Chain A
Amino acid sequence: MISVLIPSQLIAYTGGATRVEARGATVGEVMDDLDRRFAGLKFRVIDEQDRIRRHMRIFVGQLEARTTNAAVSDGGEVLIFGALSGG
């Protein structure tokens, strides 16, 4: 299982949870798994061409994932952040 940090911008989808568990070998698979349980969450983070949206940041452990192909290890951690996006 992967531990996923949910930012405040997305807790409306997770019933208020800021930490959830998911399965997957890549960031994209983790997002797909989250979307199965929290419908609509993925599209607000990943666009229809599988690009991480401009003002979202995803880290696998301490390393930033630039694409949804970034590998995730079982037992690892994925952190989703809302980055700076203006006033």
Chain B
Amino acid sequence: MTDAVQLLVGTRKGAWIYRSDARRETWRAEGPLFLGQIINHFVADPRDGRTLVMAASTGHLGPTILRSADGGATWTEASRPPAFPKGDPHGRAVDHSFWVEPGHADEPGVWWVGASPPALFRSADGGDTWDGVTGLNEHPRVLDWFPPDGGTPDGAILNQVVIDPRDARHMYLATCSAGVLETTDQGATWRPLNQNVRCDFFPDPYPEFGQDAHYLALAPTDPDRLWQQNHCGIYRLDRPGERWDRIGEAMPPEIGDIGFTIVPHPRDRETAWVWPMDGTEVWPRVSPGGRPAAYRTRDGGASWQRQDRGFPAEQGWFTVKRQAFCADRADPLGLYIGTTGGEIWMSGDEGGAWRQIAAHLPEIYSVTAAPLA
């Protein structure tokens, strides 16, 4: 027996909600919501099961945060979206909010946003008003960690906020130019956490910071286990250790270990999935060989198995971006990807077989799964 799931889908041209039946066999689409707005991230609040929040901008207009307190029936805009202080010494202005994170379970109403240019913002009123986290945004090394011209083609990003479920003060950030940063005082102080994570694009391939941490995830059953899909490989770190292991070296060499995202199993600390992309020559960032597949490890990254049943056997050139691969918490576990080609695929058996449940959407940036209340 499974439970009904809703998928919150953010795309380059608006948002959609897909709601399943209790067996996850049929899916009903609602949308588009905010057609034409760039939705980088669209998430539900696990603390109340009703609040939805998305990060929005358009090609013309500045960035904002949109909120629904009733499961998506009605929406309001943040009255004070994330923004740097007027007169910021570095002249920064938020180009877009990239990542939206509900706060710790003990802090209802608290939300976090990671932005471009890289910066961290916090709301204590359910996402209505936002303030910069000065411990990071005004850190003495902020321009070393986040060079003004560094980062991705869409601009440098603070691409992820990860909170230790045991301690609201303990947080990690994934960034495109300083790798992983850690705080144990909820953002007052920060330090890089990048030992043994490679930078192929630096003279010193193992610097203190400079890495491009595409995605970071804590194992839900063991928050001391960190999984990372980096620009330069797949890594794992077991705290209190400090040195990452490149577990992607066990991937098939013809596939490699480059990708945007990694998804841990919600009930098994040894299991996780990645979605490899082609990082050779000029970095096409497509499914290697035009044959899309997930890869799964069930032994902490010591070995990986290909999972491609249902996907095109050839001429499938999509890829899956940072926020567009997720798991629900049902049993058996459901996995979901949103593709750069506007398709949503799911597996109801932990990756054993995949089927397309939506197509013809705009380029998908974000897919998150939440229980359907």
Contacts and interface: CB of A to CB of B under 8 A. Distances in A.
Interface stretch (A18-26, A58-66, A79-87): A79-87
Contacts of A55: 59-60
B94 A48 contact: yes
A78 B64 CA distance: 24
Contact of A85 (B60, B78, B81, B85): B60
Given A49-B86, A49-B88, A40 B60 contact: no
Given A47-B93, A48-B84, A48-B85, A53 B79 contact: no
Interface of A: 9-10, 39-40, 43-51, 53, 55-56, 82-83, 85-86
Contact of B59 (A10, A46, A49, A86): A86
B60 A9 contact: yes
Nearest to A57: B60
Contact of B77 (A10, A40, A46): A40
Nearest to B58: A9
A48 B84 CA distance: 7
Contacts of B332: none
Contacts of B64: 40, 43-44
Interface in B47-104: 58-62, 64, 77-79, 81, 83-88, 91-94
B116 to A, nearest CB: 13
Interface residues of B, number: 20
Given A53-B60, A55-B60, A48 B93 contact: yes
Contacts of B84: 48-49
A50 B60 contact: no
A45 B79 contact: no
Contacts of B83: 43, 47-48
Nearest to A83: B60
A44 B85 CA distance: 16
A39 B128 CA distance: 13
B62 A47 contact: yes
A58 B255 CA distance: 50
B81 A49 contact: no
Contacts of B86: 48-50
Contact of A51 (B81, B85, B93): B93
Contacts of A85: 58-60
A37 to B, nearest CB: 14
Given A48-B83, A48-B85, A50-B86, A43 B62 contact: yes
A43 B60 contact: no
Nearest to B77: A40
A43 B87 CA distance: 15
22 contacts: A9-B60, A9-B61, A39-B77, A40-B77, A40-B78, A43-B64, A43-B81, A43-B83, A46-B62, A48-B84, A48-B88, A48-B93, A48-B94, A49-B86, A49-B92, A53-B60, A53-B61, A53-B62, A55-B60, A82-B60, A85-B58, A85-B60
Contacts of A53: 60-62
